[in-house]
Amino acid sequence: MIYRSFAKVNLHLEVLGLRPDGYHELRTVFQSVDLCDLVHLQIGGSGVRLEVAGQALPDDERNLAHRAATAFLAAWPVVDGVRITLEKNIPLGGGLGGGSSNAATVLQGLRHLLGVQQSTDVRLEELGRALGADVPFFLTGGLALGSGRGDEILPLPDLPEREIWLVTPALEVSTASVFQELRELTADREVSSMGSLVWGEGVDWEMAARGWNDLQPLVMRRFPEVCRVYNALVEAGARTVRLSGSGATWLALFDDAIESSDLPTALPPDCRVFRARTLNRTSLQRLRVVH
């Protein structure tokens, strides 16, 4: 079976403070988008075998997809092995959650392929949380509020699907290094957010446009390439320009698709540019299985 492994953007990201466990307390709003990798799953053999195409990534336990399959087979030892092939398209180090999405897709794909009962959702969430903070969101998808480390997920009523632009400069940003610098900058004080938006019933794109990303100023200071793309998007007329996660991908919203039609020519030539669409949970279920 082949499954689509969809990316995400953060419509909003607040850093509220340091937790006792050393992680930062977050409040973030995730949104699924149709940019995706492909995950091929084939049952057979012994253990987990992984091949990666399209990007230079490890094919062993350092890869989240490999670890997800290992965890699933340990929890439900109904087969001896699985072969995974990843076709990568989501940019690395872009804040789009590609690795976490791959892990969640492997968990969901194996459940589907092996006919494991839907009652395993809670256990899948436990496995996902152990794999990475973003993985639980990808088990839900659509529009969702993330709290805690970002791994406590509350599904929100889906927004109408719309076109967006994703622009990734030619560099990778390490999430761990961004949060480490944030910790050093705030070592002598509690991290405070710029404010708070209330997300719940009645959320619309006007409200989403008022969100922000507390990591954005730090990333723009550290990486001039990221800042240049921001400036180019603003000059091109984007109504909303926001960093996804810890970057380096920018989410850009335009009022008019015609206004954005020439966007790629206005950007630095080494950027990856994707004309994408947001996905609600119904669309995710319909599109997840390729064949």
Helix (H, G, I), strand (E, B) or coil at 282: helix
**Following DSSP, what letter does each residue of 11-58 receive, concatenated?**
EEEEEEEE-TTSSEEEEEEEEEEEEEEEEEEEE-SSEEEEEEESS---
Catalytic residue among 34, 37, 88, 134: 134
Output the CA torsion sign for 277, 278, 282, 286: positive
Instruction: Check residue 284 and report its DSSP letter.
Output: H
Token output for 284: 């995710």
- Report the DSSP pairing between strands 47-53 and 81-87: parallel
Contact 8, 30 (CB under 8 A): yes
Ramachandran region, residue 80 (left: φ > 0; alpha: ψ -120 to 50; beta: rest): alpha
Residue 36's beta-bridge partner residues?
A: 6
**Residue 261 — φ and ψ, nearest 5°?**
-65, -30
Mark whether 8 is an active-site residue.
yes
Catalytic residue among 8, 151, 158, 214: 8
How far separated are the first and last CA of the chain, in Å rounded? 6
**Following DSSP, what letter does each residue of 54-101 receive, concatenated?**
SS----STTSHHHHHHHHHHHHS-SSSEEEEEEE--SPTTSSS-HHHH
Mark whether 88 is an active-site residue.
no
C-alpha distances in Å from residue 121, one per residue of 47, 70, 98, 113, 139: 23, 17, 21, 15, 9
Token output for 282: 């119904």
Catalytic residues: 8, 134
